[in-house]
Amino acid sequence: MRFGRISSLLLVTALLSIAAAGCEREERRFREVPPAADQSTNVVQSDLQPGPSIVATATQHPYDDNAYAIASGKRLYVQMNCAGCHGLAGGGSIGPPLLDDKWIYGSDPSNIFSTIVEGRPNGMPSWKGKLSNDQVWQLVAYVRDLSGLHRKDVRNSRGDNMAAVQDEQNRNRQTPRSSFEPPGSVTTP
Amino acid sequence: MARGVALVAALATLGCLKESSDDRPTREAVSAASASASGLPVIAPAATSADDGQWTMPQKDYANSRYSSLAEITPENAKNLKLAFTFSTGILRGHEAGPLVVNNTMYVVTPFPNYLYALDLTKEGAPMKWRYDPKPAASAQGVACCDVVNRGAVYYDGKIIYNTLDAHTVAVDAKDGHEVWNTKVGDINLGESVTMAPLVAKGKVFVGNSGGEFGVRGWIVALDAGSGKIAWRAYNTGPDSEVKIGPQFKPFYDQDKGKDLGVKTWPGDAWRTGGANVWGWLAYDPELDLLYHGTGNPGPWNPEQRPGDNKWSSGIFARRPDDGSAVWYYQWSYHDTFDYDGINEQVLLDMQFGGRPRKVLVRAERNGYVYVLDRQTGEVLSATPFGFVNSSKGVDLKTGRLIYATDKQPKLGEVTRNICPSSPGMKDWQPTAYSPRTGYLYIPHQNLCMDHEAVEANYIAGTPYVGMIAKFTSGPGGNRGVFQAWDIVNRKEVWSIPEKFPVWSGTLVTAGDVAFYGTMDGWFKVVNAKTGDVVWKFKTGSGIIGQPITYKGPDGHQYVAIMDGVGGWSGAIVAGGIDPRDSTAALGFVNAMKDLPAATTKGGMLYVFSL
């Protein structure tokens, strides 16, 4: 009887922890401090470096695995009118497309962060002072989501509006092109 | 289920309208124009061009006829046309402008960065005399809704005058290319840009802003042609004092009478971000002393955010050029729910109507009707569809109101399908031409329908303010473009040439009875103006969206010129490198243009032909 009680308690605990682990799809960090609180440090814009090149280390984006942040980024993408220029589904219009593998100002999260904050000379507005760091990071997360750069289970699924393109979750990853590969490296599609 | 019902309803409507196509909506309401009374409509004599060997304004003349009396090129000899010279602008965006020819010099204005080139026609190969660079702000590209186009320059009193994308008007010495004046007329941080071709009359340069997709409040401004100083500015929304509505204002229809309608026909302060821009064509009648300009779509596109007539958007004003005073106004598309922008060109003609001579303006309007208006009063004499229309059921000639089809209205969060014509309308900015020899209006246009869904638009100054998701599709027949000859007197099509892509180029017709136009897949075509037979064509490097012109060269022979360089709203998929996977990109145009990148590439080349 006693043993039975303990075992059932253990069973419940075990079940609960399994259930809890199932919920733990992602770690929700709601108030993420950007790695470089200063909005302009350590961001390299060009692949071309004179002399010996520093091996580029990709920024670990705090929201890369955060479904909540990616979904919030989508909301901001519409509300802040990013969609008006880059297309609701990221196909581009006034601005360049975001659902492909071409990145004019870099695909690294830190590059996208500074593109949004600083603006770019050919029409990209500067959002400095208009959005919190947190919101910019959410946008960065969604911008990367448009070309399928996140793991599948955290991506956005089908939207509510008239469908324009395959939903984010089922898009194939569009690996950003980069010149950082050593000479002789071969890529196949 | 609801979708199924909507679809069935849409099909049913389609069926109905097709069956009743003989019984066009306006037919009974209008007294028939007298076809045989005294011949064909003539171009308003006071508004015609005196010197026909030149091309000094994009419209050819104040009447917007785009008709030249040069007659050396004919349907019979057009097959002998050959290239005289070419010139590359070095710019690869949509080239919507046509060149000017003045004093044996050709002037070419490019899309952003808005270079102005002068070419010497007296020398072999037409070498460059000079280039002027207005150095517009590069950021202006971010507030240009539909490619970074420019629709042309105008010659006046020794100067070439045109607008730059970053909302400046510049005057350049036609002889040596030095800048005479440069006036900032708008602010890109409000989303304003300028893409239209100015018109000069009575020593004033008239310029309007673009930005109907950015919540920009529309205006027209008059600059002193000598100094560039602003003489007056009239807004197209807001209180009467700012719209320049005063004692002279006598609109024909009752709904346009009343105080401050530019405020009262909007909810709250929505008129401040209500569009009604002036990015299209101006006309001027020196005899009546009236300046005519259309007004663009109301903003945002989502109509649920702006209940009311939304005056003075999607209409036409007749104003006094001296001080901007409004004399009359007519609204083509009240409470415009489809982006049926009212900025197309008006062709000023004198003709018999209902048995008596009338001074009219004829306009192939975006909402799908060819309108004939009395240009003294703003009365609608007739409105006849020139293609397949199901978004409306006609124009009520008693009230002047467009009769919208209730089942095609956009709704928040709901998709409405098969709306014809689509947002760019039956015809967009691409101007028509009129030949007094045939009595036909030559209409380059598109044949597109759309599905759309309204969504909430959020106003942030300098960013898009649209609130509509759309997808355009081909209209009935599958051809997305049409080049059409329209009999103005009998109000019917005479012939038409279907084109695969929208016909986004302008047109030109001459006394040799040939008409010219270009296609987005790069064919420059010469057509027998009477029969519609294509008598000659030439393949250009890039697709054509420019405006053909003709002139008499220093050798006394007739030349015809066209720019290639695909782009504009329809060609943004190529010029702007849009990803065709996103059907809703370019405000929905991409869905109808997915095969354009396989048909043409970017360009920017001038081609000049002669016999």
Beta-carbon contacts of residue B482 (< 8 Å; ≥ 6 apart): B387, B443, B444, B445, B446, B447, B496, B497, B498, B499, B503
Q: Could you tell me what percentage of chain B is helix, strand and coil, using 3-state DSSP and rounding each to the nearest 5?
A: 10, 35, 50
pLDDT at B501 over 70: yes
CB count within 10 Å of CB A12 equals: 10
Render A79-135 in DSSP notation, one character per residue.
Answer: HTTHHHHH-TTS--SSSPPSSSS--TT-SSHHHHHHHHHH-BTTTBPP-TTTS-HHH
Contact criterion met (CB < 8 Å) for A92 and B582: yes
Q: Which residue reads 């609109």 in tokens?
A: B251
Share of chain B above pLDDT 90, in %: 93
Cβ atoms of B195 and B168 closer than 8 Å:
no
Q: What is the CATH number of the domain that holds A128?
A: 1.10.760.10
Chain B residues within 8 A of A161 when measuring between CB atoms:
413, 453, 455, 469
Higher pLDDT, residue A179 or B22? A179
Distance from the Cα of B52 to chain A's closest Cα (Å) equals: 39
CB B596: neighbour CB atoms within 10 A? 27
Residue B90, number of CB atoms within 10 A of its CB: 12
Q: Tell me the residues of A at the B interface, defined by beta carbons under 8 Å apart.
A: 78-81, 83-85, 87-97, 99-100, 119, 121-125, 160-162, 164-166
Answer yes or no: do A80 and B463 touch at CB < 8 A: yes
Establish if A188 belongs to a structural domain.
no
In this complex, do B579 and A99 lie within 8 Å of one another by their Cβ atoms?
Answer: yes
Token look-up 């040799």 returns: B512
Cβ-Cβ contacts under 8 Å between A and B: the total is 117
Residue B213 designated active-site: yes
Average pLDDT, rounded, for chain B: 94
Residues in chain B: 611
Q: What is the pLDDT of residue B50?
A: 72
Mean pLDDT to the nearest integer, B546-552: 98
pLDDT in tens, B434-459: 999 999 999 999 999 999 999 999 99
Nearest 5°: phi and psi at B280?
-110, -140
Best CA proximity match to B293, nearest among B209, B186, B217, B225: B209
Domain assignment present for residue A61? The answer is no
Nearest to B581 among A91, A93, A124 (CB): A91
Break chain A down into helix, strand, coil percent, rounded to 5: 35, 0, 60
Nearest Cα of chain B lies from the Cα of A144 at a distance, in angstroms, of: 16
Give me the pLDDT at residue A20, please. Answer: 56
Per-residue pLDDT, A61: 80
The answer to whether the Cβ–Cβ distance between B584 and A89 falls below 8 Å is yes
B209 min Cα distance to partner chain A (Å): 18
| Lookup result for tokens 């947190």 | A134
pLDDT over 70 at B19, yes or no: no
Quick one: average pLDDT of B384-398? 98
Query: Residue type for B507, please?
Result: T
By CA distance, what is B136's nearest residue in A? A122
Domain assignment present for A154: yes
B510, B68 in Cβ contact below 8 A?
yes
The predicted structure's pLDDT at residue B317: 98
Structure tokens at A134: 């947190």
B contact test, residue of A82, A86, A93 with most B CBs within 10 A: A93
Q: For residues B378 and B318, is the Cβ–Cβ distance under 8 A?
A: yes
pLDDT digit of tens for each residue in chain A (189 aa)? 455 566 666 666 666 665 555 555 666 665 655 544 444 455 677 777 787 766 656 677 888 889 999 999 999 999 999 999 999 999 999 999 999 999 999 888 989 999 999 999 999 999 999 999 999 999 999 999 999 998 888 888 777 888 777 677 777 888 887 666 677 878 776
Percent of chain A surpassing pLDDT 70? 70
Closest CA to B366 of B445, B276, B300: B445
Alpha-carbon distance of A89 to B98, in angstroms, equals: 35
Distance CA B195, CA B507 (A): 19
Look at residue B438 in the predicted model and tell me its pLDDT: 97
Number of domains in chain A: 1
Chain B positions touching chain A (beta carbons under 8 Å): 138-145, 213, 413, 415, 451-453, 455, 458, 460, 462-466, 469, 471, 572, 576-587, 590
Place domain B2-610 in its CATH homologous superfamily: Quinoprotein alcohol dehydrogenase-like superfamily (2.140.10.10)
Beta-strand ranges (E) seen in B279-324 are 282-285, 290-294, 315-319
Q: What is the model's pLDDT at position B13? A: 42
Q: Kindly report, residue by residue over B516-545, the tens digit of the pLDDT.
A: 999 999 999 999 999 999 999 999 999 999
Residue A177 lies in a domain: no
pLDDT in tens, B224-259: 999 999 999 999 999 999 999 999 999 999 999 999
pLDDT the model gives residue A47: 75
* pLDDT in the model for residue A17: 60
C-alpha R_g of chain B: 22
Catalytic pick from B61, B147, B213, B350? B213
B166 included as an active-site residue: no
Rounded Cα distance between B199 and A148, Å, is 49
Quick check: B579 and A84 CB within 8 A? Answer: no
Q: Nearest to residue A113, comparing CAs of A30, A23, A44, A15? A: A44
How close B418 comes to chain A (CA, Å)? 14
- The position carrying tokens 């692949």 is A47
Interval A90-113: pLDDT, tens: 999 999 999 999 999 988 898 999
**pLDDT tens-digit readout, B163-212:** 999 999 999 999 999 999 999 999 999 999 999 999 999 999 999 999 99
Q: Could you say which of A81, A96, A123 has the minimum Cβ distance to residue B458?
A: A81
The answer, yes or no, to whether the previous bond of B312 is cis (omega within 30 of 0) is: yes
The answer to whether the Cβ–Cβ distance between B143 and A122 falls below 8 Å is no
Largest separation between any pair of C-alpha atoms in chain A: 77
Tell if the CB–CB gap between A90 and B582 is shorter than 8 Å: yes
Q: What is the CA radius of gyration of chain A?
A: 20
A12 belongs to a structural domain: no
Q: What is the DSSP pairing of strand B82-88 with strand B605-610?
A: antiparallel
Q: Return d(Cα B337, Cα B410) in angstroms, integer.
A: 7
Helix (H), strand (E) counts: chain A: 5, 0
Q: Distance from A30 to chain B by nearest Cα, in Å?
A: 25
Residue B253 confidence (pLDDT): 98
Residue B273 — φ and ψ, nearest 5°?
-125, 35
Whole-angstrom CA distances from A104 to A77, A108, A121, B582 are 19, 11, 12, 19
Per-residue pLDDT reduced to its tens digit, B284-294: 999 999 999 99
Distance, in Å, from the CA atom of A65 to the CA atom of B507, rounded to the nearest integer, reads 55
Amino acid at B588: G
* ipTM metric: 0.90
How would you list the strands of the sheet with B369-374, edge to edge?
B42-43, B347-353, B356-364, B369-374, B380-385
